[in-house]
Amino acid sequence: MSMDERRVLAEVRRVTLRELRFWVREGWVKPAQSDVGPMFDEVDVARIRLLCDLRKDMQVPTDALPVVLTLIDRLNETRRDLSHLARAIDSLPDELRASVAEQVRRVRGKS
């Protein structure tokens, strides 16, 4: 479901219109653009809530936000990749899955 700025502000009461527009300008939130302006989806709203947590609760300085957001994005990508890998391994025959698990144990023991 897409939301315009007004609906986002009603949904996320901790953000101001000024902050929201700044975050979009900085590229920290990337809504779709429509004839009536930016349209935010659920992922955008989750990102806005995250930014509220970082700025207001954790008091992360504005100049540090790009670094923090990049690290969070990379962590999420890694989690997604590991989830795909786990599903791929789960689809393997039992013998091969056991072999992969044994190899993982060996590699862990070496580090």
Q: What is the pLDDT of residues 59-101, one digit of tens each?
A: 999 999 999 999 999 999 999 999 999 999 999 999 999 999 9
pLDDT at 110: 82
Q: What is the pLDDT of residues 55-66, one digit of tens each?
A: 999 999 999 999
Q: What is the pLDDT of residues 7-51, one digit of tens each?
A: 999 999 999 999 999 999 999 999 999 999 999 999 999 999 999
Contacts of 65 (CB under 8 A, 6+ apart): 26, 28, 51, 54, 55
Q: Dihedrals φ, ψ of 38, to 5°?
A: -65, 140
pTM beyond 0.85: the answer is no
